[in-house]
Amino acid sequence: MSDVAALAESLHPHEVKVAAALDASSDKNGLTDDDIAQHSSLEVAQTSAALGRLQVKGLVSILSEVPRQIVSLTDTGERYFQRYTPMVRIISALRATADTGAQLSIKDIQAREELDAAELSGAIGELRQEGVIRIAAGGLAELTGSSSATADALQKLIKYVHEGAKPLAEFTPAEQALIAKFAQKRGKPNEPFRVDERVVRRFGLTETGHAVARQAQKAGVREEVARLTPEMLKDGSWRSARFRRYTIGLSPARIPAGKKHPYREFLDLVKTKLTAMGFEEMRGGLVENEFWNMDALFMPQFHPARETHDVYFVKEPGHSAPIPEPFLTSVARAHENGGQTGSSGWHYTFDRMRTRRLVLRSQGTAVSARTLAAAPKVPGKYFSIARCFRYDQVDATHAPDFFQVEGIVLGQDINFRTLLGLLTLFAREVAQAQEIRFTPAYFPFTEPSVELHVRHPRLGWIELGGAGLFRPEVTHPLGIDVPVIAWGLGLDRMAMVALEIHDIRDLFSGDLEMIRSKRVQY
Amino acid sequence: MPTISVNRKDLDKLLGRRATDKELEAWLPFVKGEIKDYDTATGELRIELQDSNRPDLWCVEGIARQIRCKLDGKPGPSPYLKTGKRRHDQVLVGKGLEDVRPFIGACKARGYRVTEEGLAQLIQTQEKLADIFGRKRRTISIGLYRLAPITFPVTYALVAPGQVTFRPLGYDDAMNLREILEIHPKGQEYGPILSGQDRVPLLRDATGAVLSFPPIINSRDIGEVRAGDEGLFVEVTGTDLRMVMLAVNIFAANLHDRGATIEPVDIVYPYKTEMGRTVRVPQAFGRPRTITRAEIGKALGAELSLKEVRASLVSYGYAVTGNGQGLTVTLPSYRNDLMHPVDVIEDVAISRGYNTFGPIMPATFTVGGLSRIEQLSDKVRELMLGFGFQEIISNILGSREDLVAKMRLSTGHPAARCIEIDNVMSQSIECLRQWVLPSLLRVETASSRSFYPHLLFEVGEVAVPDPDTETGVRTEVRLSALLAHAGASFSETHSYLALLCYYLNKPADHLTPIEHPSFIEGRAARIELVGPGGTSSIGLIGELHPEVLERWQISMPCSMFELALDPLL
C-alpha cells in the first residue's frame, strides 16, 4: 500500500470531511476553523480536533496566524455603564453642590458617591491633570469650568462596548489609546475594559494533504469501526468489522497523575535516611514561647537575634502559660550566674515574664530543647523536620518560612570526635559526599561548634550543616547529665539543585505545570 | 555576625608576612572567619566573623593578632597593661550617672601617625563594636579624639540639655544638646537611648571644651580624627562595666599592634563599681579558670599530653600556669568570653585544628522511627496519590486577604480566627494559615494554563487558637483536597472522602449540612467523627462559592474537603 493510500485509510471520518472541505476550497489564503466547520457540517470543536490530527500527520499546515484583539467590558466596566464612571460622577457631584453654593472636600465626594479610595484618587488625579478640577485650600475640590474630554469619551466608549465585544482594530487610534489606558492589567485589576488576544488561524492542505484528501474521497467514507465494544464481542459482529487503522506515531495526550511534590519527595528521602540511621522523630508547635525557642538554649535575652527584627512575635495571645519548674528557675540561674552548671553565666537580670512571650518558632532547636526536658532516651538519637520562621525580606534566597532538619544525639560516649563521626555519616548518607572538611563555628548553644563542608558532586564545596556539643548551660538546667550533640542540616541548596530551581521560593512553588513536569529522583 | 572590610596589604603588614591565598584560607578557621568577597584589583577582602562573643576579632588587627599568635606559638607582649602605683591622667565621673550611663573607660595612644587605612579600620571597629556588641550604642558607645587639644583631667558628667552648646560632627554651627537630639541625624537615631532623662551625659576637658555628647555625637573640634593625626584619645561609655573595659582593651591592643604607645587613664568614680572607685584602664580584668587535662580529654575524645594542651592554649593567646592535672588558664585582656571550661576546650580544638581529630563513627544502637502523626500523614498521602491527586506543599505564613477576605469570611466568623504577627513586615506575611484550602486555591489561581482536571492535595500544618493548650495555639496537621475541573462537584469530592475514610477504617464520612460563607448554600457540610466519646467535627466539605472563585480569579468550578488528621489517631 502506498503512503498516500495508507494515510487515507487511517483518516477518521471527521478528518476526511475536513480534508475534503479544504480540498474543495479555492481560497489561496486558506480557511479558518469556522469556515471549515460550516463547509463540512461539523461542530467547531470537532473541526479543531480533526485539524490538530491532520497537522500531526503532515497533511494540513497553518498558512497564517493573525492575532486579533477583542475589547470587552469588565465587571467594573458594566458598573460604570450602569452608574457612570467616577470622573463623570465627581464632576456632576461638584456641579450639583456648586449650584447650591456649597463646597465638597475629596472625602465628602468619596462618601457621597460611595467610591473606593483607589477609584477616587485615580479619577481625581485624571481630572486635575486635565485641568477640570483643582484642589483649593482645606482639601476642597472645585470645578475650573473646562469640561473633561476624557470623561466624555470614556463614557461613550463604555456604552458602545457594552453592546457587545468589539475588535480593537475597529476603534480610532485615539479611542484605542483610551482603551489601553483604562484596560485591566497586572496590578490594575479594577479597570473598565479588558483586551483579550485571540489568534485567527487559516489552514490549507499540504501537497500530500491534497493527494490524501482525494484518495480518501475516492475511497468514500467506508463504514469502519472506531473501537471494539463489549456488544461486538458478545454477538460476534467483530468478525465482519473493519477497524479503522490508527496512526501509531502520534504523541499521546497528557493525563493527570497523582505525584508527590518534588520538594516533599526530597524531604521524604531525608526522613527515610535519618530513621534508617536510628533517629526517632520529634514534633513541636509552629508557635513557641521565648523560653523553649531561646532561653533554654542559653541565648541571652539581650542577644541580637532575639530582637523584633529577627523574630516574628505573636499578636494574640501574646503569652503562653507560665514555664514549668524546675526548668524556669534552673534556666534563669544559668543565664544570671551559671547556677549549678559550672558556668559564670551572662551577668544580667533574667526577665521571667519574657520567657512566656510567644514567637513563631525561629529554629528547629526549640524542638530539641523540649525533647531534652521530657526525659529523652539515653542513648538516644532524635530528629525533626520543622517549619521555621525568620524575620527576613523575602527574596530569591530567603523564604518566609522554611524547613529546618535538626536533631540531637545523647550518650555517655559522646565527645568531639563522635560528633565529627556523626557529621561524616551525614555527609556520606545525605549528600553522598566523600570529601569533607570541618571548620570552627559559632552557635550560642553549643561549644565546641562545628561547620560541616562537603564537596557536592555538582555544587563543589558547600556548607552542609552546623553542629556542636550542647553547652552544659543548656543540658544541665533541663535535667540532662550526659553529653549531647546538637546538629542541623542545611538542605535547601541541595534540594534546589536536585529540583533544578534557582529561587528558594520555588521550593513551595504554586505553579502546577512546573510541579507536574518535574521528574522523580532515584 | 559582622562582616568587615580588610585591606590585604594592611593584613599582611599586621601579620608581618605576605600571606598566600592558600595560607589565608588555612588560617581563617582560627578566627571563625569566612571570606565572602575578594576584589583582586583593590585588594579588599570582605570577611564574615562568626563568633558573636569575640568582638576582638571583628577587625583586621584582631584577626592578624590571633593568626600571628598561632604562627609564633605564643602571644605578643602587652606592655599597655600597667598595674603600678604611678598616677595617670584622669577622667572624673560626675554624680548621678549611675542611673543614666554609669561607666566609662579610656586610654591614650601616642607615637602612631594615623594612616588612611588605619583610620578606616578605626572607624569600622568603632562602628561594629558599638552597633553589634554595644547593641546600637545602648550598652556601649565609643569616641575617638585628637589627643593634642585635650587638657586633663577630663570630666564625664551630667548636664541640662539646654545649657551647653558645641559644634557636632557634620555641622558648621554650634548647637545645644537639645537641638542636637532634635535636629542632628545621630541625635534622632540614638536620642531614644537617653529618653526620659532630664540631664544627659557630656564629656569635657579641664578647660571646659566639649569632647562629645555620649552616646550621640562627637565634637567636631576635638572629636574629628583625620589621617596624619598623631596622638589619639579613645573613650568608651556604657551601662556594663565589663563590656566598657573590654572595648577599651581591644582598642588599646589594636593601636599597640599598629605601633602606638598606650598610656593608661585612671577613671575616678563618685560611686562604687565592681572594680573599685578608681579604675585603671586598660586593665586585664578576666579571672583565671582551672581546668583539668582529663576534662579536656574526655570532651574531645582524645588523650592529649600536658605539653600538647599547654602548647595549644598558649599558641591561642592564653596565659597558662600550673602543671600536673590542674591547669590555671587566663584569657588575654582583649577577650572576655570564658564562661565555662567548655569554652577553653573549644579553643584547644581550634588551636589544634578540627581536621586533626579523627572522626569516630557512631556505634551505639538506637531504634529509629517516625511519630504516629507522621506515619498517619504518610499513609494519607500515599492514598491521595493513589487516588490520582497531585501533592502540593505551601508556605504557612499568609495574609488575612487570602485566608479570610478572599474566602468570603467576615472578621467575626469563627473560621476567620488566625494567629497574627505583632511585628508585621509586609501585608502578604501577616498571619499563620488557619486552614490549608487557601494554599491550594493559590496554586489553582496560578495554574489555569496547566491541563485539567486539577486534583490537588496538601498534608500540612495549620495554627488555630486554643486556650486549652500551653501556648494558646494548637498546631494541627490537616489534609486538604481540591478538585478543579468543569464537572467538579460535591458528590465526586464526597466519593474520595468516603473512600479515604473507608481505607483508614474511620467512620468519618458522617456529614452534617452547614451554611458556610466560602461554599454554595446547601452544598457544604461538616465532616464528623463518631467515636465512643460522642460526635466531633473534624473537617469541611463543599463546593466553593462562585464569589470565592471570582476573588481568587479562578474560572473553573472547585470542590474541596479539609480534614484534621490528629483526631483520627
Considering CB atoms only, which of A312, A342, A513 is closest to B423? A312
Q: How far is CA A514 from the centre of its chain?
A: 10
A147, A166, A196 - which closes a domain: A196
**CA distance linking residue B177 with residue B191, whole number of Å:** 10
Whether A292 is in a domain gets the answer no
Tell me what the mean pLDDT of segment A24-29 comes to.
Answer: 85
Beta strands per DSSP E along B293-413 = 319-321, 326-330, 390-391, 397-398
Q: What is the pLDDT of residue B426?
A: 85
Q: A375-410 burial by CB neighbour count: b if 16+ within 10 A, else e? A: ebeebbbbbbbbbbbbbeebeeeebbbbbbbbbbbb
Mutual angle of helices B341-352 and B293-300, in 10-degree steps = 70
Looking at per-residue confidence, does A387 or A196 come out higher?
A387
* C-alpha dihedral (A273, A274, A279, A284), degrees to nearest 10: -140
Partner-chain contact B32 A442, CB within 8 Å = yes
Residues A408 and A473 occupy one common structural domain: yes
Partner-chain contact B465 A317, CB within 8 Å = yes
Tell me what the mean pLDDT of segment B466-475 comes to.
Answer: 95
For residue A167, give its domain range: 73-196
Instruction: Please choose, from the candidates B253, B277, B257, the residue with its C-alpha nearest in 3D space to the C-alpha of residue B267.
Output: B277
Please give the backbone phi and psi of residue A122, each rounded to the nearest 5 degrees, phi first: -60, -50
Q: What is the pLDDT of residue A521?
A: 77
Partner-chain contact B366 A286, CB within 8 Å = no
Least confidently predicted of A297-301, B231-235, B511-515, B528-532: B528-532
Instruction: Please choose, from the candidates A71, A82, A98, A80, the residue with its C-alpha nearest in 3D space to the C-alpha of residue A167.
Output: A71
Beta strands per DSSP E along A206-315 = 280-281, 287-289
Question: Is 60 exceeded by the pLDDT of residue A1?
Answer: no
**CA distance linking residue B152 with residue B89, whole number of Å:** 6
Partner-chain contact B300 A263, CB within 8 Å = no
Partner-chain contact A424 B361, CB within 8 Å = yes
Considering CB atoms only, which of B363, B368, B421 is closest to A274? B368
pLDDT band of residue B508 (cuts 50, 70, 90) is low
Residue B443 contacts A, CB cutoff 8 Å: yes
Residues A113 and A213 occupy one common structural domain: no
pLDDT band of residue B144 (cuts 50, 70, 90) is very high
Q: Which residues of B touch A377 (CB under 8 A)?
A: 366
Question: Is 90 exceeded by the pLDDT of residue A34?
Answer: no
Cβ(B358)–Cβ(A438) under 8 Å?
no
Cell of A411: 550518650
Q: What is the pLDDT of residue A9?
A: 80
Q: How many domains would you assign to chain A?
A: 3
Q: What is the ipTM of this complex?
A: 0.92
Chosen from B35, B103, B287, B450 to mutate, greatest number of chain A CBs within 10 A: B450
Instruction: Please choose, from the candidates B438, B432, B362, the residue with its C-alpha nearest in 3D space to the C-alpha of residue B397.
Output: B432
Partner-chain contact B366 A449, CB within 8 Å = no
Question: Is 70 exceeded by the pLDDT of residue B324?
Answer: no
| Non-local CB neighbours of A411 within 8 Å, separated by 6+ positions | A378, A379, A380, A418, A482, A483, B364
Chosen from A76, A275, A417, A434 to mutate, greatest number of chain B CBs within 10 A: A417
Identify the closest residue of chain A to B297 by CA–CA distance: A415
Residues A389 and A506 occupy one common structural domain: yes
Q: Which residues of B touch A435 (CB under 8 A)?
A: none
Alpha-carbon distances, residue B94 vs B97, B103, B197, B201, B203 (angstroms): 6, 11, 15, 9, 10
Strands A287-289 and A140-143: unpaired
Whether A430 is in a domain gets the answer yes
Expressed in angstroms, the distance from the first to the final Cα of chain A is 46
Q: What is the pLDDT of residue A223?
A: 67
Least confidently predicted of A43-52, B102-111, B296-305, B510-519: A43-52
The stretches of B361-423 forming alpha helices (DSSP H) are 372-386, 400-403
Whether A78 is in a domain gets the answer yes
Identify the closest residue of chain A to B338 by CA–CA distance: A344
Least confidently predicted of A207-216, B191-200, B411-420: A207-216
**CA distance linking residue B404 with residue B182, whole number of Å:** 43
* Exposed/middle/buried for residue B55 (C-beta within 10 Å: 0-12, 13-18, 19+): buried
Residues A54 and A82 occupy one common structural domain: no
H/E stretch holding A263 reads helix A262-276
A196, A226, A245 - which closes a domain: A196
Q: How far is CA B529 from the centre of its chain?
A: 46
The percentage of residues in chain B with a pLDDT greater than 90, rounded to a whole number, is 88
Report chain B's mean pLDDT, rounded to a whole number: 94
Q: What angle do CA A12, A18, A23 make, to 5 degrees?
A: 125
Q: Which residues of B touch A320 (CB under 8 A)?
A: 470-472
Question: Is 90 exceeded by the pLDDT of residue A338?
Answer: yes
Most confident of A159-168, B166-175, B527-536: B166-175
Residues A106 and A177 occupy one common structural domain: yes
Give the three-state DSSP class for B482: strand
Question: Is 80 exceeded by the pLDDT of residue A137?
Answer: no
3-state helix, strand, coil in chain A (%, to 5): 45, 20, 35
Residue B275 contacts A, CB cutoff 8 Å: no
Looking at per-residue confidence, does A359 or A112 come out higher?
A359
**CA distance linking residue B380 with residue B374, whole number of Å:** 10
For A147-187, the pLDDT digits (tens) are 888 888 888 889 888 888 888 888 888 888 889 888 888 77
**CA distance linking residue B89 with residue B262, whole number of Å:** 12
Mutual angle of helices A3-10 and A207-219, in 10-degree steps = 60
Whether A355 is in a domain gets the answer no
Question: Is 60 exceeded by the pLDDT of residue A8?
Answer: yes
Whether A386 is in a domain gets the answer yes
Whether A349 is in a domain gets the answer no
Alpha-carbon distances, residue B545 vs A247, B439, B486, B557 (angstroms): 44, 16, 15, 9
Q: What angle do CA A425, A429, A435 make, to 5 degrees?
A: 70
Tell me what the mean pLDDT of segment B48-68 comes to.
Answer: 95
For chain B, which domains are there? 3-72 (3.30.56.10), 90-281 (3.50.40.10), 289-353 (3.30.56.10), 372-568 (3.30.930.10)
Report chain A's mean pLDDT, rounded to a whole number: 88
pLDDT band of residue A499 (cuts 50, 70, 90) is confident
Looking at per-residue confidence, does A361 or A128 come out higher?
A361
Residues A367 and A391 occupy one common structural domain: yes
Residues A47 and A134 occupy one common structural domain: no
Cβ(B251)–Cβ(B134) under 8 Å?
no
**CA distance linking residue B497 with residue B561, whole number of Å:** 7
To the nearest whole Å, the CA of A223 is away from the closest chain B CA by 34
Cβ(B145)–Cβ(B235) under 8 Å?
yes
Residues A119 and A188 occupy one common structural domain: yes
Residue B41 contacts A, CB cutoff 8 Å: no
Partner-chain contact B349 A377, CB within 8 Å = no
For A464-489, the pLDDT digits (tens) are 889 999 999 999 999 999 999 999 98
Tell me what the mean pLDDT of segment A367-385 comes to.
Answer: 96
To the nearest whole Å, the CA of A98 is away from the closest chain B CA by 39
Looking at per-residue confidence, does B315 or A70 come out higher?
B315
Identify the closest residue of chain A to B452 by CA–CA distance: A256
Other beta carbons within 10 Å of A330: 18
Least confidently predicted of A134-143, B442-451, B529-538: A134-143
Looking at per-residue confidence, does B491 or B84 come out higher?
B491
Least confidently predicted of B43-47, B395-399, B505-509: B505-509
Looking at per-residue confidence, does A33 or B53 come out higher?
B53
Residues A91 and A174 occupy one common structural domain: yes
Identify the closest residue of chain B to A399 by CA–CA distance: B395
To the nearest whole Å, the CA of A291 is away from the closest chain B CA by 11
Single-letter code of the amino acid located at B535: T
Q: What is the pLDDT of residue A169?
A: 84
The percentage of residues in chain B with a pLDDT greater than 70, rounded to a whole number, is 99
Considering CB atoms only, which of A254, A274, A424 is closest to B451? A254
Q: How many inter-chain contacts (A to B, CB under 8 Å) are there?
A: 280
Whether A17 is in a domain gets the answer yes
Residues A190 and A210 occupy one common structural domain: no
Residues A144 and A216 occupy one common structural domain: no
A177, A196, A215 - which closes a domain: A196
Residues A370 and A434 occupy one common structural domain: yes
**CA distance linking residue B251 with residue B245, whole number of Å:** 10
Other beta carbons within 10 Å of A197: 9
Mutual angle of helices A86-100 and A117-130, in 10-degree steps = 70
Residue B355 contacts A, CB cutoff 8 Å: yes
Whether A26 is in a domain gets the answer yes
| Non-local CB neighbours of A167 within 8 Å, separated by 6+ positions | A68, A69, A70, A71
Partner-chain contact B392 A515, CB within 8 Å = yes
For B253-300, the pLDDT digits (tens) are 999 999 999 999 999 999 999 999 999 999 999 889 999 998 999 999
Question: Is 90 exceeded by the pLDDT of residue A462?
Answer: no
Considering CB atoms only, which of B338, B368, B422 is closest to A275? B368
Q: A62-93 burial by CB neighbour count: b if 16+ within 10 A, else e? A: eeeeeeebebebbebbeebbeebbbbbbbbeb
